[in-house]
Chains A and B, each alone.
Chain A
Amino acid sequence: MVKINIDGQELELEAGTTILEAANEVQVNIPTLCYLEDLSVYGGCRLCVVEIIGEEMLRPACTTEIEDDMQIKTHSKKVREVRRNIFELIISSHDIDCKLNCLTCARSTNCELRDVGEQIDMQEMRLDAIERNYVDDSSSHSIVRKPNKCIACTRCIRKCEEVQGVGIFTKANRGPETVITTFKDRGMGNVDCTNCGQCIQACPTGALHESYHYNSVWHFLNDSSKFVVVQTAPAVRVALSEGFGEQPGTVATGQMVAALRRLGFDRVFDTNFTADLTIMEEGHELIDRIQNDGQLPMFTSCSPGWIKFIEHFYPEYLDNLSTCKSPQQMLGAVTKSYYAEQQGIPPEDIVVVSVMPCTAKKFESVRPEMDKDVDFVLTTRELIRMIKEFSLDMMNLAEEPYDKLMGTSSGAADIFGASGGVMEAALRTAYEVITEEELENLDFTAVRGTNGIKEAEVEIGDLTLKAAVVSGLGNAKELMERIEAGAEYHFVEIMACPGGCAGGGGQPIPTNQEIVEQRLNSLYEIDKHKSLRKSHQNPEIKQIYAEYLGEPGSEKAHELLHTSYVVRNI
């Protein structure tokens, strides 16, 4: 144990503790910018510097480990002066040439620079703003990068490389010309980006944000000749309320549906409905592969970040991907066919909008294999903007239900928003379909939780089903290596974002492990309290098969609900 004194507080901590961690023990939150939990320590911003009594130079709290009898001052006069100066320097080259940049910024409500400014009591700005005149990178369908707002803290680089195992970003040039860029400056749309949006979650400023669709959505909401349908993903309902000041995990399903109607959507459907539909199709596909010596393991296909990842890095495994479209695309497809037919609306007049916790869904919606299923994709954050622009007191709206025909869902569909949820939902249905017996314990707890890689063996009749559940693309890479080394599974669920969709790149900022866990808990609570908890028992699912699709895996189902993949170059 190491004895230190920090801001007058004596304490003993384990060797290897950093000053930043030690300060937390005495309820001091030293300001940081380049530091982010779960990423390697960079030590670049220097905002966390502290004074050690007896030393002239200040030391960064994030990288400095405590030593015996260290006397640490986290907020001495010297420290405060240096912090303010560093902050002033950062701000001066951060696109603040007073074109109301702060007000129009993607991060106007949750900018970490503003938080730090408040924390260090920034009182004046003595320096000239330095314009950098970089060009925005709009090459990606999912993400926009604004280099003028980038402070080069490298959190995006580290997140992409260390957590997601992709690594599309790099630093280029030297000195103040140092920039974050992509390979050969090609832009995010022209490199191996999976569009997962975890870089946005890591960015402290407005240098990265999703490619906005909400202005187009406003346009069609005002066009009376269009029938505008919206669908909401499972993970949105447990995160949307954060944009309105609620605790993470506060469920706002009914309020969200009401708000969407107020915004002018003609129908509000639930992506959960097609999550149940996915289980029907994917469950039968799995059974078919197992019973007829098909390609195993079968990988899930709901996460478009994962799809692009495997297309880039493991294209030799494309036959292992389930051919099922994701629930978002399925809902678009059945809206423009089944629903259009039922209601007598010309499909060309229908505009399908989806609200997703995801940035990769934007790319998915423009994939040529299933173009036009979904027209616009809003992130949870974009929907928050729209509701705010409508000045709705959302949390006090009376709860409303989803629209009929594609609005009913099982608890199995709700947990699609959690890592392990697709697996659990599939197991509930597969068990009963294969054994024709009722499943007694519906909770497959082995596949729950935020562990990056989870494995389970489930007895289904004579079959011992070997399953793996992975979230985070870095973990996906590790699992693929295990498979290449000979590990055998029947069914593998992979979601690109840590924790699953609840931790998606389109979710409210901040999104961190603690917040993700709160959102996950709420999803499981919703499931627990539903009487309908198995996809195959959803009456609207029974109805769509009876009236339109026939059997799971039928020709019609294949035409509408299945897709194909492409080999991409690295």
Chain B
Amino acid sequence: MEEKILLKEGIDIDLKGRGGDTPPAEPNINEYDFFVLEEALNLDREEIIEQIKEAYLKGRGGAGFPTGLKWEMALAEEAEQKYMICNADEAETGTFKDRYLLENVPFKVLEGIIIGAYAIGAEQAYIYMRGEYARPRNVFSKAIEEAYKQGLLGEDILGSGFNLELRLIKGAGAYICGEETALLNSIEGKRGRSRTKPPYPIQKGLFDQPTAVNNVETLASCREIIRIGAKEYKSLGTKESRGTKLVCLSGDIWKPGVYEVEFGQVTIKEIVEEYGGGTRDDAQLKFIIPGGASTSILPAEKLDIPYCYETLAQAGSSVGSGAIIVVDDSHNLFDLMVTVSRFFMDETCGTCFPCKEGNRQVNHILNKVADKGGFSKEEVEIVKSIGRTIYLSARCGLGQTSLNFIYSILKNYPDEVLLGGDKHGKD
């Protein structure tokens, strides 16, 4: 198997630093050629957007909204000030691809931000970075500083007449702040909680001005689309899933890490076995979580499907952030459920009642269940009905997806979780 290289091009160290003797060298701006940026700034805004639309790029943060469409709408908005925001608050469990990009190819990300800002007509940009990301923050702060010195930020970038100010904002550790409207509140200095939509950020975002919020990987991908052209980018992948995706492989496998895969060309099973080197200690693979803890699990027997948006949707889950977490059969399902539930209980912002109270109750029930070693049928029904209620009525994506993991465990392993039922697992 070979990795299709777009985003990872230019990274020659590839985790050499991990556990090794010398940390990877910091990227040097003088060794980087900003020719893609230069090319982009020579294009009309509409031309760039047309390229991104033609490439059919979907947002890589998790929701999968078409990036070109987002930019087109942002450009169409009339306002005195517009904002481009790079969402680097990567906090979905098992996700570390944005960190990888920020640490290793910060200039690609920077180009993506500038190109995006230019395309929508924003002269102000922010990168909102997860608080715990100390090294990426150091690397990227330096990149911004250097870029100002080299005329890549500030006034009249590369003589194009385009001006852009970019600021880095450090998050303070709240998962909810990765949700785009909560992120906007956080930048404004307000409590990190989601806003009611509509109005969408495109219409009324940061400081009530039109704002495009894009994920780190998305923006880096835009840079790649401009580099190789929409036609070539589009030739990669499948009809609904164009291009490549960074997959964060973790869990009970031999070789965790960030891998770039072309959509539709490899199966999940191959990703786990060939990239990941298979499960550790020859344990039996039980299931994977394909896109972080907010996505539904896929049991071992359903992994022989090509990795792309459409097949994962058919299988009842989603690509999410690209965090594939591999779980072998040595774990206690109740422990896993309690852990995931605890995460969502702690991280719900506390605004909407179904999410705040629902996650608390589910955690309470799961703790009881874990203590006695199984669910009663009634408890399964209660958890499912709370799950459905949160899904249908929560204010934002955090709540809506918060019970996907637990719900899918209940659905896939009914006999194992029920009290007195047959227990196939070795718990």
Proximity string of chain A (39-61) to chain B, C-beta cutoff 8 Å, 1 when within and 0 when not: 00111111101000000111010
Contact of B354 with A92 in the complex, beta carbons under 8 Å: no
Contact of A44 with B395 in the complex, beta carbons under 8 Å: yes
B122-130, B134-142, B210-218, B359-367 - interface stretch: B359-367
Contact of A130 with B393 in the complex, beta carbons under 8 Å: no
Q: What is the minimal beta-carbon distance from A349 to any residue of chain B, in angstroms?
A: 53
Proximity string of chain A (475-512) to chain B, C-beta cutoff 8 Å, 1 when within and 0 when not: 00000000000000000000000000000000000000
Contact of A63 with B392 in the complex, beta carbons under 8 Å: no
State in angstroms the CA–CA spacing of A36 and B385 once bound together: 28
Contact of B353 with A175 in the complex, beta carbons under 8 Å: no
Q: CB of A404 within 8 A of chain B?
A: no
Q: CB of B314 within 8 A of chain A?
A: no
Contacts of A93 in B (CB 8 A): 357, 360
Contacts of B360 in A (CB 8 A): 93, 130, 175-176
Q: A127-B382, A175-B356 are in contact. Are A49 and B361 (CB under 8 A)?
A: no
Contact partner of B196 (CB less than 8 A), chosen from A33, A63, A128, A178, is A63
Q: CB of B113 within 8 A of chain A?
A: no
Contact of A175 with B359 in the complex, beta carbons under 8 Å: yes
Q: CB of B348 within 8 A of chain A?
A: yes
Q: CB of A86 within 8 A of chain B?
A: yes
Q: What is the minimal beta-carbon distance from A26 to any residue of chain B, in angstroms?
A: 22
Contacts of A41 in B (CB 8 A): 196
Contact of A130 with B345 in the complex, beta carbons under 8 Å: no
Q: CB of A110 within 8 A of chain B?
A: no
Most chain A CB within a 10 A radius of its CB, from B174, B347, B392: B392
State in angstroms the CA–CA spacing of A191 and B392 once bound together: 40
Q: CB of A126 within 8 A of chain B?
A: yes
State in angstroms the CA–CA spacing of A46 and B357 once bound together: 12
State in angstroms the CA–CA spacing of A45 and B389 once bound together: 12
Q: A58-B392, A86-B389, A90-B353 are in contact. Are A175 and B364 (CB under 8 A)?
A: no
Q: A128-B364, A130-B364 are in contact. Are A171 and B357 (CB under 8 A)?
A: no
Q: Could you say which interface size class chain B belongs to?
A: 20 to 34
Contact of B393 with A127 in the complex, beta carbons under 8 Å: no
Q: What is the minimal beta-carbon distance from A48 to any residue of chain B, in angstroms?
A: 10
Q: A86-B389, A89-B361 are in contact. Are A175 and B395 (CB under 8 A)?
A: no
Q: A63-B196, A128-B364 are in contact. Are A174 and B392 (CB under 8 A)?
A: no
Contact of B348 with A175 in the complex, beta carbons under 8 Å: yes
Q: A46-B393, A82-B393, A85-B386 are in contact. Are A126 and B357 (CB under 8 A)?
A: no
Proximity string of chain B (311-345) to chain A, C-beta cutoff 8 Å, 1 when within and 0 when not: 00000000000000000000000000000000001
Q: B400's closest neighbor in chain A, by CB?
A: A57
Contact of A58 with B393 in the complex, beta carbons under 8 Å: yes
Contacts of B393 in A (CB 8 A): 46, 49, 57-58, 60, 82, 86
Contacts of A178 in B (CB 8 A): 349-351, 356
Q: CB of A81 within 8 A of chain B?
A: yes
Contact of B345 with A175 in the complex, beta carbons under 8 Å: yes
Q: CB of B346 within 8 A of chain A?
A: yes
State in angstroms the CA–CA spacing of A435 and B389 once bound together: 71
Q: CB of A257 within 8 A of chain B?
A: no
Contact partner of B389 (CB less than 8 A), chosen from A56, A85, A173, A174, is A85
Contacts of A127 in B (CB 8 A): 361, 382
Q: Which of A420-434 contact B (CB under 8 A)?
A: none
Contact of A130 with B361 in the complex, beta carbons under 8 Å: yes
Q: What is the minimal beta-carbon distance from B18 to any residue of chain A, in angstroms?
A: 32
Contacts of B365 in A (CB 8 A): 128
Q: CB of B167 within 8 A of chain A?
A: no
Contacts of A60 in B (CB 8 A): 196, 393, 395
Q: CB of A202 within 8 A of chain B?
A: no
Contact of A176 with B392 in the complex, beta carbons under 8 Å: no
Contact of A43 with B196 in the complex, beta carbons under 8 Å: yes
Contacts of A152 in B (CB 8 A): 350, 356
Main secondary structure of the interface of A (DSSP, over half): loop
Most chain B CB within a 10 A radius of its CB, from A41, A47, A178: A178
Q: A49-B392, A127-B382 are in contact. Are A174 and B350 (CB under 8 A)?
A: yes
Q: CB of B378 within 8 A of chain A?
A: yes
Q: What is the minimal beta-carbon distance from A304 to any residue of chain B, in angstroms?
A: 32
Proximity string of chain A (120-140) to chain B, C-beta cutoff 8 Å, 1 when within and 0 when not: 000000111010000000000
Contact of A177 with B196 in the complex, beta carbons under 8 Å: no
Q: CB of A556 within 8 A of chain B?
A: no
Most chain A CB within a 10 A radius of its CB, from B346, B389, B400: B389
State in angstroms the CA–CA spacing of A312 and B346 once bound together: 37
Q: CB of B169 within 8 A of chain A?
A: no
Most chain B CB within a 10 A radius of its CB, from A43, A63, A92: A43
Q: CB of A228 within 8 A of chain B?
A: no
State in angstroms the CA–CA spacing of A438 and B316 once bound together: 86
State in angstroms the CA–CA spacing of A151 and B382 once bound together: 21
Q: What is the minimal beta-carbon distance from B173 to any residue of chain A, in angstroms?
A: 10
Contact partner of B385 (CB less than 8 A), chosen from A56, A85, A90, A171, is A85
Contact of A43 with B361 in the complex, beta carbons under 8 Å: no
Q: A44-B395, A178-B356 are in contact. Are A173 and B361 (CB under 8 A)?
A: no
Contact partner of A174 (CB less than 8 A), chosen from B196, B347, B391, B400, is B347
Q: Which of B364-408 contact A (CB under 8 A)?
A: 364-365, 378, 382, 385-386, 388-389, 391-395, 400
Q: Which of B160-193 contact A (CB under 8 A)?
A: 174, 176, 191
State in angstroms the CA–CA spacing of A151 and B356 once bound together: 11
Contacts of A57 in B (CB 8 A): 391-393, 400
Q: What is the minimal beta-carbon distance from A217 to any residue of chain B, in angstroms?
A: 38
Q: CB of B61 within 8 A of chain A?
A: no
Q: CB of B352 within 8 A of chain A?
A: yes
State in angstroms the CA–CA spacing of A493 and B354 once bound together: 45
Q: B346's closest neighbor in chain A, by CB?
A: A175
Contact of B354 with A174 in the complex, beta carbons under 8 Å: no
Contact partner of A46 (CB less than 8 A), chosen from B176, B347, B352, is B352
Q: What is the minimal beta-carbon distance from A104 to any residue of chain B, in angstroms?
A: 23
State in angstroms the CA–CA spacing of A93 and B363 once bound together: 13
State in angstroms the CA–CA spacing of A78 and B360 once bound together: 22
Q: What is the minimal beta-carbon distance from B395 to any residue of chain A, in angstroms?
A: 6
Contacts of A56 in B (CB 8 A): 392
State in angstroms the CA–CA spacing of A226 and B409 once bound together: 71
Contact of A81 with B389 in the complex, beta carbons under 8 Å: yes
Q: CB of B205 within 8 A of chain A?
A: no
Most chain B CB within a 10 A radius of its CB, from A90, A93, A127, A176: A176
Q: CB of B290 within 8 A of chain A?
A: no
Contacts of A171 in B (CB 8 A): 191, 350
Contacts of B345 in A (CB 8 A): 175-176
Contact partner of A86 (CB less than 8 A), chosen from B196, B349, B353, B395, is B353
State in angstroms the CA–CA spacing of A126 and B176 once bound together: 29
Contacts of B354 in A (CB 8 A): 46, 82, 85-86, 89
Q: What is the minimal beta-carbon distance from A74 to any residue of chain B, in angstroms?
A: 14
Contact of A173 with B350 in the complex, beta carbons under 8 Å: yes
Q: A82-B389, A130-B360, A174-B174 are in contact. Are A46 and B350 (CB under 8 A)?
A: no
Most chain A CB within a 10 A radius of its CB, from B346, B360, B400: B360
Closest 4 CB pairs of A and B: A178-B350, A89-B357, A176-B360, A85-B389
Interface residues of B (CB under 8 A from A): 174, 176, 191, 196, 345-354, 356-361, 364-365, 378, 382, 385-386, 388-389, 391-395, 400
Interface residues of A (CB under 8 A from B): 33, 41-47, 49, 56-58, 60, 63, 78, 81-82, 85-86, 89-90, 92-93, 126-128, 130, 151-152, 171, 173-178
Task: List 22 interface pairs A-B (beta carbons < 8 Å), by A numbering.
Answer: A33-B353, A44-B352, A45-B352, A45-B353, A46-B352, A47-B353, A57-B392, A58-B392, A81-B388, A82-B354, A82-B389, A85-B385, A89-B357, A89-B358, A126-B378, A126-B382, A127-B382, A128-B361, A130-B361, A151-B353, A174-B174, A175-B347
Knowing that A45-B353, A85-B388, A175-B356 are A-B contacts, what are 19 other residue pairs whose CB atoms are under 8 Å apart, sorted by A's residue number?
A42-B351, A43-B352, A44-B353, A45-B352, A46-B394, A46-B395, A57-B391, A58-B393, A60-B395, A82-B354, A82-B388, A86-B389, A89-B361, A92-B357, A92-B361, A127-B361, A127-B382, A175-B360, A177-B350
